[in-house]
Structures are given as structure tokens and as C-alpha cells.
């Protein structure tokens, strides 16, 4: 009988799920992911997590509870410190396995490998081999499973870079077809942590609402990573948060891109990095209309939709006024 490994459908699921799903399946495990976030997920997470946790973190607790109730044999809850050299993830990710153990009773064993490649990746590879032993795999088989996972992750990222959102890229990666594209009137640069933007409940279905308004969301995943780094490097001091630097670089790129009509930033109340990064971005955007939307577990979807509709209307009015002014001047 295959051992079941639960992977929460939250946080870094939106960045690394193809890697870890492939890795565990190559080791002979059955991967069970929690369902997409629902109101029940939020309610359970809010009840279990500490008050100081940000909205996405509370949602993650709800997903862990769902998987624990399903009776999986193991829960995959990595301790994320750094996913690239000289850069770091939000400190709350470092303590996530400990917070989960302290807050949720009757948990299955956690697979809590430490991902810290700020200086070297040799300790990560040692942890990978340790995980392989759980499933009776040799070091050679475990390393091969990890390499296969990296190949799938590269393919997934290639799909996203071609203009798909990570949710759409995930659907294609899983072998599903996408619905036809809606017509587009505007192109909007979209900023925010992926685990907020691509979760339909946390983001209040922001991307779907924008498409319904005939706007094309342009995401950080659609921008050349080297271009993002170049724009982020124009700041006087390097942003050491991986995702924060990605948002700053993308924002500055969008501000200079002639094809971008406006910029939307989705932030979560209680997120320390968002409070700083949002302030930097708001001060540096000078060429494009900009709106920041802040959400938490109490935010109503109707209010967010109203603000988005008003923002899109403002951009279109400005475009019409600019066209009429140019027509009058040259006609």
C-alpha cells in the first residue's frame, strides 16, 4: 500500500508543487493535495493560527487541518529559509513547521526539510536523501527523483513565462485544457505574493474579475528574470527578500513598459514585507496609474470589485481624454 503524503494547497504550492509532487511520486508515494481554499478553510485556519499571523499563513493552517483530517501518512511542511543565494524568505516561513505542531492536535508526522541555499545547497541535498529513507529509497534513487522534480518545475515555469498565470500553467501541467481567452481592452501589471494572488479566496478572485473587465493581467512570471533584477538593482539598497525584490523589479519594469496601462498591487494586512515593499513601490511609480488593494480574512469581495471597476474606468477615461486631446491638436 502506498504511503500518502499531504501537500497543502497554499503558500509555496503555487511556486513549487510540480517539483515536490514529482519527487514524492518518483519515490513511490501517493501525493494528496488539499482542495482549493474555501470559506471553511479560512475559518479553520483563523481558529487554529495565532492572531499575529498574516492572512495567507492562516489559510495554510486550514489546509493542513484538512489534510490531517483525511488521514494522510505524512504532511509535507518544509522549513523555508532561502531559495536563492544571498536572499531570504519571510521569517514566518522558517518557523512554520514548529507553529503547525504547536497549534494543530493529532497531526501525522511532518516532513519538514530545511530549504536554505543562501550560502550553499549541500545541506538541502542531505535533507533530500534523509526524506528518501522514509520511503526506502537509496540515495541514488532519491537524487534522481529530485532531479526529475526539477525538470518538471522548469517545464511548469516555461508555461508560466509564455503568458499563463501559475493556476493556468498548473492546469496545463496536469494535462487539462484552458478555456478560450476573453477579449482585452487594457493590460494591467499585477503585483503581489503569488500565494495571495493565485489563491481565489485570498485575492477575492482578482484575476478573474480583471479578465471579466476585459483586462489582461501581466504578472511577474511574464517578465524576464534578468530584467526584474536589473530594475530592482536601481534601488540604493538591495532588497534581501526574494519575493519582495521580484515585486519591486516588476513594478519598476511595468512603470516603464509602454504597453502597460496601469498597475495593481495586492497586499495582505499584517504582512511585514508588504508594508515596506508597498511603500517603496508606491513612491517609485511615476508614469502609470497605481492602486494598492489590502485584504485580510474580513475583507468583502464587493468592496474590492467596486475599487477595481473604478480604477479601470479611470484608466479608460484618461485614455479617451488623451486621444481626444491629440485628435483636436492635430485635426
User: Per the domain annotation, does 173 fall within a domain?
Assistant: no
pLDDT classification of 313: cutoffs 50, 70, 90? very high
Residue ranges of E strands in the chain: 4-7, 30-33, 74-76, 79-82, 110-111, 114-116, 186-191, 215-218, 262-268, 290-295
Query: Rounded to an integer, what is the distance from CA 284 to the centroid of its chain?
Result: 23
CATH code of the domain covering residue 23: 3.40.50
Cell representation of residue 161: 513565462
User: Per the domain annotation, does 70 fall within a domain?
Assistant: yes
Residues 152 and 215 in one domain: no
Asked which of 111, 131, 161 is the last residue of a domain, the reply is 161
Residues 88 and 195 in one domain: no
pLDDT of residue 232: 94
Residues 217 and 115 in one domain: no
Residues 156 and 275 in one domain: no
Residues 124 and 19 in one domain: yes
Q: Could you give the CA distance from residue 8 to residue 61 in angstroms, rounded to a whole number?
A: 9
pLDDT classification of 330: cutoffs 50, 70, 90? very low
User: Per the domain annotation, does 40 fall within a domain?
Assistant: yes
Residues 20 and 148 in one domain: yes
Residues 57 and 86 in one domain: yes
Asked which of 98, 131, 161 is the last residue of a domain, the reply is 161
pLDDT classification of 324: cutoffs 50, 70, 90? low
User: Per the domain annotation, does 298 fall within a domain?
Assistant: yes
Whether the pLDDT of residue 221 is over 60: the answer is: yes
User: Per the domain annotation, does 228 fall within a domain?
Assistant: yes
For 244, the domain range is 180-330
Q: Could you give the CA distance from residue 84 to residue 321 in angstroms, rounded to a whole number?
A: 45
Cell representation of residue 210: 480583471
Residues 211 and 138 in one domain: no
Residues 108 and 252 in one domain: no
Residues 152 and 185 in one domain: no
Beta bridge partners of 189: 218, 263
Tens digit of each residue's pLDDT (9 = 90 or more) over 141-151: 999 999 999 99
Question: Alpha helices, DSSP H only, in 104-138?
Answer: 122-134
Asked which of 99, 133, 161 is the last residue of a domain, the reply is 161
Q: Could you give the CA distance from residue 196 to residue 180 in angstroms, rounded to a whole number?
A: 24
Cell representation of residue 159: 508555461
Q: Which residues of 227-242 are buried (b: 16+ CB within 10 A; e: fewer)?
A: ebeebbeeeeeebebb
User: Per the domain annotation, does 170 fall within a domain?
Assistant: no
Residues 152 and 188 in one domain: no
Q: Could you give the CA distance from residue 38 to residue 201 in angstroms, rounded to a whole number?
A: 7
Tens digit of each residue's pLDDT (9 = 90 or more) over 230-248: 999 999 888 888 999 999 9
Instruction: Determine if residue 62 is left, alpha or beta; phi over 0 gives left, psi from -120 to 50 gives alpha, anything else beta.
Output: alpha
User: Per the domain annotation, does 208 fall within a domain?
Assistant: yes
Residues 70 and 209 in one domain: no
pLDDT of residue 323: 58
Domain count, the chain: 2
Helix (H, G, I), strand (E, B) or coil at 290: strand
Residue 251 burial by CB count (10 A; 0-12/13-18/19+): exposed, middle or buried? buried
User: Per the domain annotation, does 14 fall within a domain?
Assistant: yes
Structure pTM? 0.91
CATH code of the domain covering residue 319: 3.40.50.11900
Amino acid at each position: 500500500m502506498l504511503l500518502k503524503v499531504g501537500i497543502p494547497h497554499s503558500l509555496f504550492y503555487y511556486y513549487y508543487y510540480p517539483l515536490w509532487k514529482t519527487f514524492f511520486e518518483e519515490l513511490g508515494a501517493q501525493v494528496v493535495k488539499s482542495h482549493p481554499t474555501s470559506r471553511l478553510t479560512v475559518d479553520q485556519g483563523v481558529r487554529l493560527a495565532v492572531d499575529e499571523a498574516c492572512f495567507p499563513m492562516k489559510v495554510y493552517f486550514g489546509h493542513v487541518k484538512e489534510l490531517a483530517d483525511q488521514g494522510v501518512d505524512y504532511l509535507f511542511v518544509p522549513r523555508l529559509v532561502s531559495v536563492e543565494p544571498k536572499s531570504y524568505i519571510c521569517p514566518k516561513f522558517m518557523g512554520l513547521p514548529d507553529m503547525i505542531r504547536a497549534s494543530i492536535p493529532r497531526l501525522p508526522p511532518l516532513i519538514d526539510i530545511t530549504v536554505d541555499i543562501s550560502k550553499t545547497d549541500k545541506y538541502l541535498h542531505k535533507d533530500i536523501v534523509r526524506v528518501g529513507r522514509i520511503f526506502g529509497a537509496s540515495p541514488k534513487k532519491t537524487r534522481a527523483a529530485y532531479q526529475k522534480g526539477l525538470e518538471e518545475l522548469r517545464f511548469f515555469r516555461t508555461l508560466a513565462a509564455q503568458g499563463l498565470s501559475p493556476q493556468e500553467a498548473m492546469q496545463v501541467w496536469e494535462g487539462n485544457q484552458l478555456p478560450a481567452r476573453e477579449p482585452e481592452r487594457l493590460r494591467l501589471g499585477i503585483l503581489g505574493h503569488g500565494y495571495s494572488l493565485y489563491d481565489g479566496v485570498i485575492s477575492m478572485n482578482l484575476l478573474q474579475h480583471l479578465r471579466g473587465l476585459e483586462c489582461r493581467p501581466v504578472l511577474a512570471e511574464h517578465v524576464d528574470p534578468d530584467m526584474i533584477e536589473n530594475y530592482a538593482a536601481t534601488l540604493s539598497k538591495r532588497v534581501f527578500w526574494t519575493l519582495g525584490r521580484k515585486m519591486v523589479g516588476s513594478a519598476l519594469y511595468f512603470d516603464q513598459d509602454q504597453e502597460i496601462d496601469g498597475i495593481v498591487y495586492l497586499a495582505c494586512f499584517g504582512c511585514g514585507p508588504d508594508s515596506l515593499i508597498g511603500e517603496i513601490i508606491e513612491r517609485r511609480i511615476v508614469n502609470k496609474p497605481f492602486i494598492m488593494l489590502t485584504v485580510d480574512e474580513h475583507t468583502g469581495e464587493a468592496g474590492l470589485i467596486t475599487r477595481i471597476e473604478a480604477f479601470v474606468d479611470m484608466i479608460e477615461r484618461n485614455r479617451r481624454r488623451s486621444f481626444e486631446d491629440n485628435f483636436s491638436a492635430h485635426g
